Each structure stands twice: as structure tokens, then as C-alpha cells.
Chain A
């Protein structure tokens, strides 16, 4: 069925992805406004092939604008962008074959069954995954004959992921993939993304859940009001907050609290002031959520 020409371009595609392995995504000085509203300004980002990057930020921070510019949907006002070696403002078919896109909300395909949808989209790619394998990967084997309109929110999202990975993408975009999930569904979903990471897919994920970035990402970018306020690892994001550990104790029948970057040193000093046990001693590590909120608040005027 497939022609020699398609196979040739497939070959070229493989070579191309090897060349661009160093930087899957390169963004310099990206800006985009909607009328007077500046959605993204002076945004830089480098994503290395094979890593999972989380773009973290509150609603309206510009996450979707950045991702949809990278996906070739939205235009930009300025800056340089390269995605898998191509400027996404001029997408072509060979480039699209290497991309997997899971949009923020999808309400299409409702009248198709899971298998019909996956089977159909597999046809658009030169060397797709096995249809049943993709359905199994996202855990929808038992729902393969169910219409998309009858799936739960989490199942529907997993169908979107199956469609995102059916073409064996080198780069997968996930825009707020677990918004509105209950904790159990979120954990099932994270396992799925973990499996894709192990296959070596480069993943760009947007989220406003810090635990999600922590669970999945090698690299976190925090965005607020269209600006990047942090670009680091999830672990480092925690330690960035100046006083990341709270030490609490009781003294003169009052609850005292000290935030410190050096809890051991502080507790040692505290111990010297008490004979025996320090009453009500608690040492609490700042959660990533708190660190994130601190970062967000820092950038508020």
C-alpha cells in the first residue's frame, strides 16, 4: 500500500531527528500579545531530546500560548523558535509526523469508538504503533468498542494520549492533561506518562499542579504573567525558596516557628537552650506547592 516515496521521507525524518537530538526545542525571546494583553514576553527555553519538561504556572500565565506556538497552531509576534529543527510557524507534513499533540480540551470524535478513532489516526502516520497496542498502553482495552462520548473524563483523556502517541512521535505535547482528575485517575495517568518517558519520547507538559511537575518532569519552568520566573529541576525548585524548612517548638507555653535553610544547625542551637527534650519539636520541609506559590508571589507587583 505504502509507496517508496513515503518510505524515503521516513528515512529522512529519522536522520533529521538524530541531528536535532541535542535541542528538541529552542526558544529565544518569544513574545506574543492578544491586542493589548501581553500573553508571553521574552520567553526562553531549551528542551533536550529525551527529557520531560513541565511548564508550570497558574491559569492565564501563558502556558497554552507557548505550547500552541510550538505546535504550529498560534503565530508569534517575535523571537526565534525551533522545534525538531523547524520553525513551527511553517509546519510541514514530515514535521507533523514526528509530533504528538494532546490539546487542553477535546470534544471531538464523540460518535466514534476508541478503536475507530485510533485506527483512523494511525493511517496518517508513516510507521504508526499497533492500534491495539496503543489502546492497551493507555489502558482502554476494555473500552475499545465504547464511543468516546460514553467515556469518563479520565478515559477520554487517555484516548487523547493514545491519539497523541499513535504515530510514534519524537516529541509529545501534553497541555494540562490531568486538570479535573481525581487523585487516583491522576496517578494512573502519571504511570502512563512514565512509560512514555521510558520509551525515550521528549515530553513537554503544562500543568498548574506542582506535584505533577514533581512526579514527571526532569526540568521545570515556572511561568507567571507570560514571563519565566524559574527554570530548574523539581528538587531545586524546592530549595530555591529561601527558608525551606520550618522548625516549630513550644517555649513559654507559646508555639514558636523558625524558617531556615539550615535546620540541623538550628535544632542543634535550640537543643543547647533546653535541658533534655525540646517541647513539641517539629521539623517540616516546605512543600513544592509552597515553593511554587512563593515563586509566583515574588513576581506579583
Chain B
């Protein structure tokens, strides 16, 4: 058991080191939400939500944190696994005595690392440059933590499941990036969710990003804004259930569909 934990630790370190040496990953997974905050924050600096004195940046940062979960876990994993399947990393690992869980633990660690970096950067820059208010109570911070943990679990497992559909890293980028973008537009990240057409809301409501973003708004927007939501509430318990169901479903999907070797090498 200690041996296994030590393997998790060393694989995690290796994954994080590899991540930081990969320029594409640094720009597209790690820094992207921070660029988005700076751009949107600067453009909509004076814009307020409705007739309130809450800034659009305050709304937007919740969406960006939720997007960060998708970038750091879903997109990063969905691209790096096909890349490693096509360049022989997985073949070498599966031919070694490495317990398979070590590989997935490494991926999860790299995603967690990316997300923590993004969250700290978004909140620090947001607070000092765009006047974003940070959660004012321990309960809200606790909500922030469980939303992040569940979001990371669901997103990274969905990323692993998604990795089965691309034959290499480039194909995976081309597949994953539009998926992430689609959900950002339809799940209340770039636009206010309540203002979207009903059909768009209905589609987004099936998938995790809508619930991660809404739950994050529950942490970052004042209580009275709950009435602006479609369900007149931030629906945190419902978000917890839906994210858990996605986590379980994705885990099952991975369990039965994950393959280590390219299809023509078995």
C-alpha cells in the first residue's frame, strides 16, 4: 500500500513536470481562462448586471472557474491520453509492471494542479484588477471546494472516456476544443444563462458545465441573484447530484471502453 502511494506520488510529480514542459498544454489548458478573464474583464469593466451594482466580471469569474474545470480536467486529459497512446507512452507503461491506477492518478494530479493554479490566478487577478468580491464565509468556501472536487472528478473521467474517440493528440484537440466552446456558449459562461433560448438551456442542462457554472455563481454572486436563475435558486444540491451521476457514468464508461493500445496494435 505504501508502495502504491509512493508510485502515485512519483507519477503525479512526473505528470506535472511534463505538463509544464509542454508549451501547448500551458497555453491552451493552463493560461486560457486567465487570458479570457483579462480580455472580458477589461472590455466589460464598467458593465453591471441589470440595475444592480454587481459587475459582469463577478458573473464571469464564476463561469471561468467552471470552465477551468473543463480545461484543466476534461480538455487536458482528453488531449494528452490520445497523444500518449499514439506516441507509445501507453504501450511502454502497459508493458511495465506499473499498476494501471498509477497512470490515472497521475492524470488526475496534473488536472488538479492546473485547476488550483487557475483558480488562484483567476481570483487574485479578478480581485485586485477587476474588483471581484471573494466568498465572504467559510460555508461559501466549503461549497467552492466541493464543487471543485466533484467538477474535477466528473471532468477528468469524461476526458478519459472521450480519449477513446481520437487517434492522436491533434485529432483530440480538434474534437475536444469545439465541445468545450459549445458548452461555454450554452451553459452560461460567456452569456447569462437565463437569457439563452429555452432549447439551448435544455441541452446544456443535461451536461455538467451548466451545473458547475451555476453552483459557482451560488458561491460568487450575492444571495438575491438566486431569483435571476431559471430555477429561482442556485440549486447546489441538485448540482451535486447531477455531477455525481456524471462522475459515476463516466467511470463506468472508462471501465468498459478504455484501451491502452492503438486499435491496430492489439
Interface residues of A, Cβ cutoff 8 Å to B: 1-3, 6, 68, 71-75, 93-94, 96-97, 99, 101, 103, 105-112, 116, 120-121, 123-125, 163, 167
| Cβ-closest chain B residue relative to A121 | B96
**Bound-state Cα–Cα, A271 to B260, Å:** 68
Beyond A73-B265, A74-B266, whether A123 also contacts B97 by CB under 8 A is: no
**A2/B3 in contact, CB under 8 A:** yes
| Cβ-closest chain B residue relative to A97 | B97
Which residues of chain B come closer than 8 Å to A72, judged between CB atoms? 95
Q: Of B82-90, B121-129, B174-182, which stretch is located at the interface? A: B82-90
Within 8 A of A (CB), among B1-52: 1-3, 6-7, 10, 14, 17-18, 21-22
**Bound-state Cα–Cα, A167 to B265, Å:** 24
Whether, in the assembled complex, B238 has its beta carbon less than 8 Å from a beta carbon of chain A, the answer is no
B10 to chain A, nearest CB (A): 6
B266 to chain A, nearest CB (A): 6
Beyond A68-B265, A106-B88, whether A73 also contacts B95 by CB under 8 A is: yes
**Bound-state Cα–Cα, A93 to B87, Å:** 23
Whether, in the assembled complex, B255 has its beta carbon less than 8 Å from a beta carbon of chain A, the answer is no
- Which one, B18, B261, B266, contacts A112 given CB within 8 A? B18
Taking A2-B3, A123-B10 as known contacts, 8 extra A-B pairs with beta carbons closer than 8 A to each other, sorted by chain A number, are A1-B2, A71-B95, A73-B91, A74-B265, A93-B97, A112-B17, A123-B7, A167-B96
**Bound-state Cα–Cα, A109 to B18, Å:** 9
**B99/A93 in contact, CB under 8 A:** yes
**B88/A103 in contact, CB under 8 A:** yes
**A1/B6 in contact, CB under 8 A:** yes
Whether, in the assembled complex, B98 has its beta carbon less than 8 Å from a beta carbon of chain A, the answer is yes
- Which one, B1, B7, B87, B91, contacts A124 given CB within 8 A? B7
**A73/B99 in contact, CB under 8 A:** no
A-B contact pairs, 25 of them (CB 8 A): A2-B2, A72-B95, A73-B91, A73-B95, A75-B266, A94-B97, A96-B95, A101-B92, A101-B95, A103-B88, A103-B95, A105-B88, A106-B88, A107-B87, A108-B84, A109-B92, A110-B87, A111-B21, A112-B14, A112-B17, A116-B14, A116-B17, A123-B7, A125-B97, A167-B97
